[in-house]
Structure 1
């Protein structure tokens, strides 16, 4: 790893608006940790370093884009076991494995479990930086999806029972007059409920509302 040209590294990874993305590093080799700390800092990301998997697991889940650069050979819990341990708790955190030697069976296992990259030491700085940049972008998209889904769930919970009924029928393609007949209410009342549903869900169109229902896993059609 070469950190003699920090300006070149910075140009490859421009700062992200808001809180800096976090690059977690778990490696029991202090020289590797120190080198990666410099490289990650020069790239204007936030490094957080850990000597063991257990130390990493004690940290709270981050609320900013993040990824994990993980040594496969660790003294307590090895890298593959750590990957399994965080799979359900932190599914939005991409993992980049690093190892001191090639190991095809473990590489295959790591990639099948969702690792985004598997690098053998010594590796080129640019290769690692590109892998980290891609992993952080994937993490950002996952967090955006999670935040969007959280908003949708909150908005859907704010609907009244009648509005839930109307929304279900609207996304199923029912016409206002048919909804009115089914619910034994006037068509004007259906339109009023429909308008409230659109406002509360912040849906700009029927297509938006259908997409929202699909994300919420509501019956459609």
Structure 2
């Protein structure tokens, strides 16, 4: 059985000028990207996925009727793994450009611009989004692992990451040392780690607090 091919990264284009959408869409498709265009920010918001599962980026006109580019950028930034934005504009609005970059835009391309500059920005944005999606996925898996632990296993893990020995943990929890050994083994198995150092790194990444000595 042939494995399914991964979906091509998507370039979303939002511009109220149909000719711009057609031109940039053609450039994106010729470079091997999937492409979808929208005439307004409102159309894009209505059609965007509830959660990003594949790498994507947004080529966004700065000034449009209705919801403007900066407002749309702020809306996207509120969600997990926000879709990176590449701003384009025919007006040299320096304050708006500065604001866009402060809000995390990948770059700002004044019209007219070279197609190669756009493709370079798209590749940079997609690579950024791949990293964000990977981080979100890892965080989700880590939360699920922690949620799979029993209350007692979490208590033991909170002490293990302090560097406490089994005997010390047993004294703190009021149980026999063998019980701590069993729970400790289950923690390591469920968290998919083979060392305390690895467990500590995962707990730090998840914001799981160590026990207070």
Give TM-score scaled by structure 1 length.
0.88
How far apart are 1:185 and its partner, in Å?
A: 2.0
Q: Is the 8 A contact 2:92 2:110 kept in 1?
A: yes
Q: Is the 8 A contact 2:166 2:180 kept in 1?
A: yes
Q: Which moved more, 1:76-85 or 1:202-211?
A: 202-211
How far apart are 1:167 and its partner, in Å?
A: 0.5
Residue of structure 1 equivalent to 2:132: 142
Extract unaligned runs of 5+ from structure 2.
Answer: none
Match of 2:97 among 96, 107, 111: 107
Residue of structure 1 equivalent to 2:145: 155
How far apart are 1:91 and its partner, in Å?
A: 4.5
Aligned CA RMSD, in angstroms, stands at 1.4
Distance 1:114 1:189 in 2: 50
Aligned residues: 205
Q: Which moved more, 1:17-26 or 1:126-135?
A: 17-26
Q: 1:90 to 1:102 in 2, by over 3 A?
A: farther
Instruction: Tell me, yes or no, if structure 1 residue 128 matches structure 2 residue 118.
Output: yes
Give TM-score scaled by structure 2 length.
0.91
Instruction: Tell me, yes or no, if structure 1 residue 18 matches structure 2 residue 9.
Output: no
Q: Secondary structure at the match of 2:134?
A: helix
Q: Is the 8 A contact 2:85 2:105 kept in 1?
A: yes
Q: Which moved more, 1:17-26 or 1:118-127?
A: 17-26
Distance 2:80 2:181 in 1: 42
Extract unaligned runs of 5+ from structure 1.
Answer: 1-16
Q: Secondary structure at the match of 2:209?
A: coil
